[in-house]
Amino acid sequence: MSKKKYVLVGTGARARMFYEALARDYREHGELVALCDTNQTRMDYTNKVLVEEFGLEQLPTYKAEDFGRMLDETGADVVIVTSIDRTHHLYIIAALEAGRDVITEKPMTTDVVKCQQIIDTAKRTGRSVRVTFNYRYAPHNAAVHDIIASGGIGEVFSVHFEWLLDTKHGADYFRRWHRDKRNSGGLMVHKSTHHFDLVNFWLQSQPQTVFGMGDLRFYGRANAEERGLFTPYTRTTEVQAAKADPFAIDLTDSPVQKSLYWDAEHEDGYQRDQNVFGDGISIEDTMQVMVRYQNRTVMTYSLNTYAPWEGFNVAFNGSKGRIELMVRETSYINAGGASDAEGAAKGIQLYHFPLHGEPRIVPVVMGEGGHGGGDNRMLADIFGAANSGAAFAADFRDGAMSILTGLAANRSFQTGLPVNVSELVNF
Ligand SMILES: NC(=O)c1ccc[n+]([C@@H]2O[C@H](COP(=O)([O-])OP(=O)(O)OC[C@H]3O[C@@H](n4cnc5c(N)ncnc54)[C@H](O)[C@@H]3O)[C@@H](O)[C@H]2O)c1
């Protein structure tokens, strides 16, 4: 079998998962043959890692405007898209038009117009677009899927889903390009695409009606000032006044962050360490949404971005029982000898309550690597020979459906009205 040739667009933080997999674990199946980005420093850093850590040759680098030339010169089979969200559609569409397949990071794109363009191009060209929904592959999320699919709680009537981002990870969205809704679609699209995809996947259904309310209440200058907090800096690296700010980061503290962002700023002016209590944030930090699915299941969902711990709770009520899944991803709860607290703080608890039967704790075996081994399972599925998890693979329809809930919620935030999802794009 000949090796597939891959090119990668967007050589920031997320790119590493893909190039590392190709450089280390899937050398026999595929080969990364070129890099593309708007920023030469980040491409050079990626090459440095490939040479020094993986013993590979330097790859040719192409600026964004030379994307088409890169496809021609390398003869690439597949384009991996890990650039910032608002640019995904450019590369997905150009790759499909050039007869290439695509693996894209989530969210597939950030608005309904671009989403429609991707749907139309994917259908017309018949090429493959895979969206890398790694959460599907996480063992606890897969276990929920299996209980529901096997009829373990009968027909699912309602879902209650709460996601919490903490003041480390959650705050990070307010430092980076994500803070501008034009770049990310806001967290309803950028972040919740994962969660809405999970619900579509768990229920094997699609959103029909969405109603939501969202606001910026915690981050941003105006909110901070209302709480009597004034932070007189726009960014935080090497800023003396920011040293005591628990929300401040210093990019020079981490060699990777320094190389990827601080040393690369002279090219594009992108600052990865903006003050979360500064001006210019156009995304929400507090979001509540109700969704009715085509199969009549109704979900209540919330996303909070300034929580003391990170993780989620989700419960399903069905005709034959209930499932509860609690996942504490990070916490600053000090166990202090209280074993329950420790288990709850760090762990994953999955309960299955059959309607008239014995409740049971469903064992969840976590794997190595990100998302409980989910990232590795997904990489094996994408790059390996086995195609190990075809049931978990997400295509452009899944990519579209998962952002439509968020795009509808964004519209509902603005209008105060419910949104009919079928009016957003045409499949
Ligand atoms: N599935 C996950 O768990 C997960 C985790 C992190 C990031 N992501 C996704 O990965 C993508 C990249 O995120 P990141 O954290 O690496 O961001 P990043 O800021 O570290 O990297 C983004 C890269 O895109 C480049 N870029 C910007 N404009 C471009 C353009 N017009 N053409 C080509 N390249 C351009 C930037 O120069 C940068 O190198 C995002 O879509 C994000 O949603 C997914």
Walk me through the domains of the chain, giving residue ranges and CATH numbers: 4-134 (3.40.50.720), 135-219+282-423 (3.30.360.10), 221-268 (no CATH)
pLDDT at 345 (0 to 100):
39
What is the model's pLDDT at position 343? Answer: 38
User: If you average pLDDT over residues 288-294, what whole number do you get?
Assistant: 98
Residues 394-421 have a mean pLDDT of 98
Note the pLDDT of residue 19: 98
In angstroms, rounded to a whole number, what is the distance separating the alpha carbons of residues 96 and 410? Answer: 28
Testing ligand 1's pocket by substitution, the residue of 9, 14, 87 carrying the most ligand atoms inside 8 A of its CB is 14
Average pLDDT, the chain: 94
- Among 92-96, 178-182, 384-388, name the one with the lowest average pLDDT: 384-388
The residue whose CB lies within 8 Å of the most ligand 1 atoms, and thus the one to mutate among 20, 105, 109, is 105
pLDDT attached to residue 334: 47
**CA 86 to centroid of ligand 1, rounded, Å:** 10
**Secondary structure element (H or E) that encloses residue 317, with its range:** strand 310-318
Cα 63 to Cα 204: distance, rounded to the nearest angstrom: 40
Q: Average pLDDT, stretch 33-48?
A: 98
Instruction: For residue range 319-367, list pLDDT tens digits in order.
Output: 999 999 999 987 554 444 444 433 343 589 999 999 999 999 999 988 8
Structural tokens at position 174: 């307010």
Question: Residue 278 has which token pair?
Answer: 């500064």
Residue 12 alpha carbon to ligand 1 centre in Å: 6
Residue nearest to atom 7 of ligand 1 (CA): 14
Highest-scoring range by mean pLDDT, 153-162, 336-345, 364-373: 153-162
Residue nearest to ligand 1 atom 9, measured at CA: 105
Residue 404 pLDDT greater than 60, yes or no: yes
Residue 369 pLDDT grade (very low, low, confident, very high; cuts 50, 70, 90): confident
Q: Say if residues 101 and 129 touch (Cβ distance below 8 Å).
A: yes
Predicted confidence at residue 388, as pLDDT, reads 56
pLDDT at 372: 82
Distance 362 CA to ligand 1 centre (A): 36
pLDDT at position 331: 58
Q: Among candidates 176, 194, 72, which has minimal Cα distance to 131?
A: 194
pLDDT higher at 346 or 47: 47
| Percent of the chain scoring above 90 in pLDDT | 90
Work out the burial of residue 150: count CB atoms within 10 Å of its CB; fewer than 13 is exposed, 13-18 middle, 19 or more buried.
exposed
Tell me how far apart the alpha carbons of residues 142 and 140 are, in angstroms, rounded to a whole number.
Answer: 5
Q: Retrieve residue 374's tokens.
A: 């989910």
Residue 153 tokens read as 């709680």
Residue 156 has pLDDT above 90, yes or no: yes
Cα(20) to ligand 1 centroid in Å equals: 16
Cα–ligand 1 centroid distance for 260 (angstroms): 12
pLDDT of 100 higher than 90:
yes
**Mean pLDDT, to the nearest integer, of 275-297?**
98
Distance 97 CA to ligand 1 centre (A): 22
pLDDT exceeds cutoff 60 at 281: yes
pLDDT > 70: what percent of the chain?
95
Give 105 Cα–ligand 1 centroid separation in angstroms. 8
Closest approach atom of ligand 1 to CA 36 = 33
Per-residue confidence (pLDDT) for residue 346, from 0 to 100: 55
| Among 69, 73, 77, 67, CA closest to 102 | 77
| 3-state secondary structure (DSSP) of residue 100 | coil
Q: Is residue 160 pLDDT above 80, yes or no?
A: yes
Atom of ligand 1 nearest to the CA of 370: 3
Pocket of ligand 1 (CB under 6 A): 9-14, 37-39, 42, 64, 82-85, 87, 105-106, 132, 134, 177, 190
Tell me the mean pLDDT in the region 270-285. Answer: 98
d(CA 304, CA 284): 9
Q: State the DSSP code for 3.
A: P
First-to-last alpha carbon distance for the chain, in angstroms, is: 35
Choosing from 46, 49, 83, 108 the residue with most ligand 1 atoms within 8 A of its CB, the one to mutate for a pocket test is 83
pLDDT digits 0-9 by tens, 192-243: 999 999 999 999 999 999 999 999 999 999 999 999 999 999 999 999 999 9
Return all residues near 419 (Cβ < 8 A) that are at least 6 apart. Answer: 209, 210, 211, 408, 409, 411, 412
Distance 106 CA to ligand 1 centre (A): 10
Protein residue closest via CA to atom 30 of ligand 1: 38
Which residues, 6+ apart, have CB-to-CB distance to 414 below 8 Å? none
Mutate to test the pocket of ligand 1, among 82, 114, 310, 403 (most ligand atoms within 8 A of CB): 82
* pLDDT at residue 329 in the model: 84
Q: Which candidate, 47, 6, 85, 18, places its Cα nearest to that of 407?
A: 85
Question: Which residue's CA is the closest to the ligand 1 atom numbered 13?
Answer: 14
Residue with the nearest Cα to atom 18 of ligand 1?
12
Atom 33 in ligand 1: which residue has the minimum CA distance?
37
CA–CA separation, 156 and 149 (whole Å): 10
